[in-house]
Amino acid sequence: MQLTLWTYEGPPHIGAMRIATAMTGLHYVLHAPQGDTYADLLFTMIERRDARPPVTYTTFRAQDLGRDTAELFKTSVAAAYARFQPQAMIVGASCTAELIQDDPGGLAKALNLPIPVIPLELPAYQKKENWGASETFYRLVRALAGAPGPRPAREPGRHPLCNILGPTALGFRHRDDLIEIRRLLDTLGVDVNVVAPLGASPADLGRLKDADFNVVLYPETARSAAEYLKKSFGQPFTREVPLGVGATRRFVAEIAGLAGLDPAPLLEGPGSRLPWYSRSVDSTYLTGKRVFVFGDATHAIGIARMAARELGFTVVGLGTYSREFAREVRAEAAEHGIEALITDDYLDVEAAIRAAAPELVLGTQMERHVAKRLGIPCAVISAPIHVQDFPARYAPQMGFEGSNVLFDTLVHPLMMGLEEHLLGMFREDPEFHDGVGPSHLGGNALAVSAPQESEAADPAPAATAAILLDEDVVITAAPWAPEAEKELKKIPFFVRGKARSNTEKFARERRLPLITLETLYDAKAHYGR
């Protein structure tokens, strides 16, 4: 058993729902107890969909368990087929139905429906949402893409043709990423055959094999299906994920290579505003800003890379809850000279953020709340997300416009350079003292100074959020001499936590009995910046 408050991912059948809801002409019959219909509201509320997800639940109850839940399942499948007349169906069990061991696949097959009915095996006690989405998409592609075989050669004069794989319902910015990537492909002269799962019908999956290659936008959902298409139809697929300017350029070059086209028109075009914005002197203060990145593997890797290479930040923490992609994240972390954090326990993430003392946190909804509690600026770069991260406006993450969006997203939470400068110059001034924090964070100003100023002395956070604190982080250190303590407060608050922990570490390693002014500056010289 695992004690869990927050989960980064839902159970695997939620992943299957994300595929079913993304598609058209597909219906999902889920063997599940009453109550599991809560999942509908993720789609109708968070993503604000205007129709119910195409999911029928058996909603069995205790009295049904004594009777025949298998019969209930069959009736539900038959009724769903009669009512919705889908082109294909997927059937499966949620966690509870997995325990009662009816066989959704076998039961549905016995009905002999005139459409493909694809059974899903989603082990709810081992796997999670993204795996469920990936597996569902893979099973659908396997069942509906047709018999494996060689592709006919491209007719002369025809534009190269690709599929775009990966966008789902409830995906972080999938809607706008897709628009952006379509625009890139259009400019290159590549035609799009099928986009799947988002907007595709089962019949469309039958046309996947017509494409020359596949563009994989989100490996979490689409890599298994792409591997299958590669094996069955010899379609190569893209490995680069176009997050950031550099990755977008590499992505364009990769596609041009696969399509046999010249990438120059696109690479020499206007591109993104990010490079100039990042080079403008206003951005100088961003240099070396300590950033902690956590999210799904794709976003964590892509955004850590762009944060370091395109904004000049220092990545001091990098992690993911996607265990399936731990290897890739570890490799990226090594590039930044750090060790990756692979965990789905947000308490571990919180402890790691505290330990790394970043100036900016880039993460999921959960990191947003952790950062708020710690008084650190934060931006959301990955699912899971709340309703505000399904914006009405155009807000891709990918491609050149996505890079513009990311520049704004990553810089806005930080204090403006001038504001930071004023804080340094007028530290004792009542309006610019270092407790006020960035002006645009408004009411958060008090929280900014509280955790670092009096972490040990202030009992309030410990009492209200004790479950969130990891005792391991609390370290016993040499006491601070009053004048050293006073000097520490003169250091801007956003680096003070780091200065404090560095000094204490320095003192501990040297077994110093007291931290004096000299210790503070010795440590500063020792660690540098």
Partner 1 sequence: MDLHQEHGQRAVFCGLTGIVWLHRKIQDAFFLVVGSRTCAHLIQSAAGVMIFAEPRFATAIIDERDLAGIADANEELDRVVTRLIERRPDIKLLFLVGSCPSEVIKLDLSRAAQRLSRHLAPVRVLNYSGSGIETTFTQGEDACLAALVPELPRSSSEAEPSLLIVGALADVVEDQFVRMFSAMGITDVRFLPARRAGAMPAVGRNTRYLLAQPFLADTARALDERGAHRLAAPFPLGAEGTTGWLQAAAEAFGVTDESFAAATAAGRARAQTALAAHRVSLTGKRVFFFPDSQLEVPLARFLARELGAELVEVGTPYLHRAHLAAEIEMLPAGTRVTEGQSLDDQMDRCRATRPDLTVCGLGLANPLEAEGLSTKWSIELLFTPVQGYEQAGDLAELFARPLRRRALLEV
Which residues are marked as active site?
282
The strand pair at 117-119 and 191-196 is best described as: unpaired
Tokens at residue 361, please? 């946190």
Among 67, 68, 83, 475, binds partner 1 (CB under 8 A): 83
Tokens at residue 295, please? 């999210």
Per DSSP, the three-state class of 363 is strand
Q: Confirm or reject binding of residue 238 to partner 1 (CB under 8 A).
A: no
Residue 14 vs 333, nearer CB to partner 1: 14
Query: Residues in contact with partner 1, total (CB under 8 A)?
Result: 60
Residue 242 vs 295, nearer CB to partner 1: 295
Among 4, 187, 439, 454, binds partner 1 (CB under 8 A): 4
Q: Confirm or reject binding of residue 61 to partner 1 (CB under 8 A).
A: yes
Among 24, 96, 314, 409, binds partner 1 (CB under 8 A): 96
Q: How far is the CB of 10 from partner 1 (least distance, A)?
A: 4
Q: Are 388 and 457 in contact (CB under 8 A)?
A: no
Q: Which stretch binds partner 1 (CB under 8 A): 54-62, 135-143, 327-335, 508-516?
A: 54-62
- Packing angle of the helix pair 445-453, 493-509 (nearest 10 deg): 10
Distance CA 423, CA 421 (A): 5
Cis peptide before 391 (omega within 30 of 0): no
The CB-side HSE value for 304 (13 A sphere, CA atoms) comes to: 29
Q: Confirm or reject binding of residue 58 to partner 1 (CB under 8 A).
A: yes
Residue 48 vs 154, nearer CB to partner 1: 48
Among 28, 73, 74, 76, binds partner 1 (CB under 8 A): 76
CA distances from 20 to 9, 46, 300 (A): 17, 17, 26
Q: Report the site for partner 1 in 406-465 (rule: CB under 8 A).
A: 463-465
Tokens at residue 388, please? 């505000």
Q: How far is the CB of 372 from partner 1 (least distance, A)?
A: 8
Among 15, 33, 263, 271, binds partner 1 (CB under 8 A): 33
C-alpha R_g of the chain: 26
Q: Confirm or reject binding of residue 67 to partner 1 (CB under 8 A).
A: no
Among 16, 17, 23, 56, binds partner 1 (CB under 8 A): 56
Q: How far is the CB of 497 from partner 1 (least distance, A)?
A: 21
Q: Report the site for partner 1 in 342-371 (rule: CB under 8 A).
A: 369
Distance CA 239, CA 83 (A): 41
Residue 63 vs 476, nearer CB to partner 1: 63
Residue 48 vs 526, nearer CB to partner 1: 48
Residue 29 vs 205, nearer CB to partner 1: 29
Q: Are 418 and 285 in contact (CB under 8 A)?
A: no
Q: Report the site for partner 1 in 106-165 (rule: CB under 8 A).
A: 123-126, 128
Range 254-282 burial, b when 16+ CB lie within 10 A, else e: bbbebbebebeebeeeebbebeebbeeee
Q: What is the DSSP string of 480-515?
A: BPHHHHHHHHHS-HHHHHHHHHHHHHHHHHTT-SSB
- The length of the chain, given as a count of residues: 529
- Residue carrying structure tokens 């696949």: 105
- Residue 117 main-chain phi, psi, to 5 deg: -120, 115
Q: What is the DSSP string of 307-338?
A: HHHHS--EEEEEEES-GGGHHHHHHHHHHTTS
Q: Confirm or reject binding of residue 10 to partner 1 (CB under 8 A).
A: yes
Q: Confirm or reject binding of residue 42 to partner 1 (CB under 8 A).
A: yes
Q: How far is the CB of 467 from partner 1 (least distance, A)?
A: 5
Q: Are 479 and 516 in contact (CB under 8 A)?
A: no
- Residue carrying structure tokens 């499948």: 77
Q: Confirm or reject binding of residue 57 to partner 1 (CB under 8 A).
A: yes
Q: Confirm or reject binding of residue 5 to partner 1 (CB under 8 A).
A: yes
DSSP-assigned letter for residue 73: H
Residue 1 vs 153, nearer CB to partner 1: 1
Q: How far is the CB of 51 from partner 1 (least distance, A)?
A: 5
Q: How far is the CB of 128 from partner 1 (least distance, A)?
A: 7
Q: How far is the CB of 333 from partner 1 (least distance, A)?
A: 27
Q: How far is the CB of 35 from partner 1 (least distance, A)?
A: 3
Residue 334 one-letter amino acid: A
Chain positions contacting partner 1, by CB under 8 A: 1-7, 9-11, 13-14, 33-42, 44-45, 48-52, 56-62, 64-65, 76, 79, 83, 94-96, 99-100, 123-126, 128, 369, 373, 386, 463-468
